[in-house]
A and B are shown apart, each in its own frame.
Chain A
């Protein structure tokens, strides 16, 4: 009996680790696809700025789960927000991110991502894809992509040199809402101004 249990446990472990291995290769390939597409078809391409922005927006909406991230960054205020506020926030948060990132995206011109494997996450169905980018001087910058399982896979966070964009936004927005007289509505309005 003991042997059978050990066997079953052993087998399930083999199956589980195989599933994980598949998963990590899949996640890594997914990020390879995103970064190659971003660098080759957008940054290095010879098209107008308007066309670049349009392509970036498409890439952004296709590969990032903004509904999921938006919900996370509002933290505890997501629960108290009305349906209308939630919808307005996600929409303006999307616009704001496309705007700020398409501006800063050019920093990756001529850069190449090196892939350094994956790291498991404590959150179910999520995995970290580790990459690094060579800088002009000094050690390469560490960029980690948090990928969420599903069909298709989606990016839910980007961690640059140990700093998570999602956590930073969440800390910032919850601090802002706490101080603002009109709470979430003020935040939505402020982001709207910045997205212009």
Chain B
């Protein structure tokens, strides 16, 4: 029952958003798939939720914090991702990188005051991101279609699986799992997740506003940028199977019509 109740706002959003922002009915041509209609509706829903909730909070947060504080917060949450980098490095056979991620996590969690400072980078052990998404890509797992998740936003099936698997490697997840029956445990998990997203949103305020101001179809812009950024994973699969030079992931034929 609870689940069905949770679905209601999404379904409402879905029907409410099948109109253009100016109130006219959306023109859906035959080739425009149902998925695209759903995606646009969910995108609009997320956009409104951001505008009404997350963005104002992020603005307030930015007003009461300094860049220094926000950098410490970013650094703290980044440090918690290092175990996931280490595991994925191993799964991809990058033993050296894995060792570096372990060293970074050990150094920054202690000398770096719970990861709020990146001491290891100062010593020349630079951060090297990795993800289960990349691991799956390396074993040539298909990405699947683009779809917009409620609240989470732009996504693909492989992206979502990778994201979920990586979050199991997050030390915060384990710390809170031990205390999931305690009220403070639950409260802390909400606070931590909230802070992470507010901080991230605060750091992206200008960039996203700029992107929106310069676009005539914000959904199409975000979808395009999200998928292009994922093209870097394609070469991971190719390097395993093919010999020789792999074309840059952003290369495309400028003369020919793609679509």
Chain A residues within 8 Å of B, Cβ to Cβ: 72, 75-76, 96, 100, 103-104, 119, 121-123, 126, 128, 136-139, 144, 146, 156-157, 159, 161-164, 166-168, 170-176, 178-181, 187, 190-191, 194
What's the least CB distance linking A77 to chain B, in Å?
10
CA separation between A30 and B214, bound complex, in Å?
27
Bound CA–CA A73/B65 (angstroms): 41
Once the chains are docked, how many angstroms separate the CA of A113 from the CA of B54?
34
Given A128-B248, A162-B229, residue A72 in contact with residue B254 (CB < 8 A): yes
CB distance from A71 to the nearest CB of B (A): 10
Told that A137-B75, A144-B248, A166-B254 touch, could you supply 13 new A-B pairs with CB distance under 8 A?
A: A122-B253, A123-B254, A138-B127, A162-B249, A163-B224, A163-B225, A171-B221, A171-B224, A175-B219, A175-B220, A176-B217, A179-B26, A187-B216
Pull 30 A–B residue pairs with CB atoms less than 8 Å apart, ordered by A.
A72-B254, A75-B259, A76-B259, A104-B210, A119-B251, A121-B251, A128-B251, A136-B67, A138-B74, A144-B248, A146-B254, A156-B254, A161-B229, A162-B231, A162-B232, A162-B250, A163-B229, A168-B224, A171-B224, A172-B221, A172-B224, A173-B216, A173-B217, A174-B259, A175-B220, A178-B29, A179-B27, A187-B216, A191-B216, A194-B214
Quick check: is B183 within 8 A (CB to CB) of the other chain?
no
Which chain A positions have C-beta within 8 A of B251? 119, 121-123, 128
User: Could you tell me which residues of chain B, from 203 to 259, have a CB within 8 Å of some CB in chain A?
Assistant: 210, 213-217, 219-221, 223-225, 228-229, 231-232, 247-255, 257-259
A122 CB contact (under 8 Å) in B32, B247, B249, B259: B247
Asked if B248 and A168 sit within 8 Å, CB to CB, the answer is: no
CB distance from B155 to the nearest CB of A (A): 17
Which residues of A have CB within 8 Å of B228?
162-164, 167-168
Which B residue sits closest to A176, measured CB to CB?
B217
* Cβ distance A159 to chain B, nearest Cβ, rounded Å: 5
Contact of B254 with A76 in the complex, beta carbons under 8 Å: no
Cβ of A28 to closest chain B Cβ, rounded Å:
16
B193 part of interface (Cβ distance < 8 Å):
no
Q: How far is the CA of A104 from the CA of B32 in the complex (A)?
A: 34
Range for the number of chain B residues in contact with chain A = 35 or more
A176–B254 touching, CB < 8 Å: no
Given known contacts A168-B228, A187-B216, A159 and B247 CB-to-CB distance under 8 angstroms: no
What's the dominant secondary structure at chain B's contact region?
loop
Check if A76 sits within 8 Å of B216, measured CB to CB.
no
Q: Across the interface, do B250 and A172 meet the contact criterion of CB distance under 8 Å?
A: no
Contact B257 A75 (CB under 8 A): yes
Set A126, A137, A139: member contacting B254, Cβ < 8 A: A126
Residue pair A172, B215 in contact (C-beta under 8 Å) = yes
Please provide the 10 A-B residue pairs with the shortest distance between their CB atoms, ordered closest to farther: A171-B224, A175-B220, A100-B214, A172-B220, A176-B217, A168-B224, A123-B254, A163-B225, A159-B250, A162-B229
A176 to B221, CA, bound (A): 10
Whether a CB of chain A sits under 8 angstroms from the CB of B71 is yes
A127 to chain B, nearest CB (A): 11
Name the residue on B nearest A68 (C-beta): B254
Task: Return the CB mask of B121-148 against A: 1 if under 8 Å, else 0.
Answer: 0000011000000000000000000000
Nearest-neighbor residue (CB-CB) of A179 within chain B: B27
**For residue A190, which residues in chain B have a CB less than 8 angstroms away from its CB?**
216
B37 CB to nearest chain A CB (Å): 11
Find the residue from B215, B216, B249, B258 having the highest chain A CB count within 10 A: B216
Most buried by A among B29, B213, B215, B220: B220
CA distance A54 to B74 in the complex (A): 38
Select from chain A the residue with minimum beta-carbon distance to B74: A137
Selected contact of A171 from candidates B29, B223, B229, CB within 8 Å: B223
Residues of B within 8 A of A157 (CB): 254
B26 engages A123 (CB within 8 Å): no
Q: In whole angstroms, how far apart are the Cα atoms of A179 and B250 in the complex? A: 27
Say yes or no: A137-B71 contact (C-beta < 8 A), given A163-B229, A173-B216, A175-B220. yes
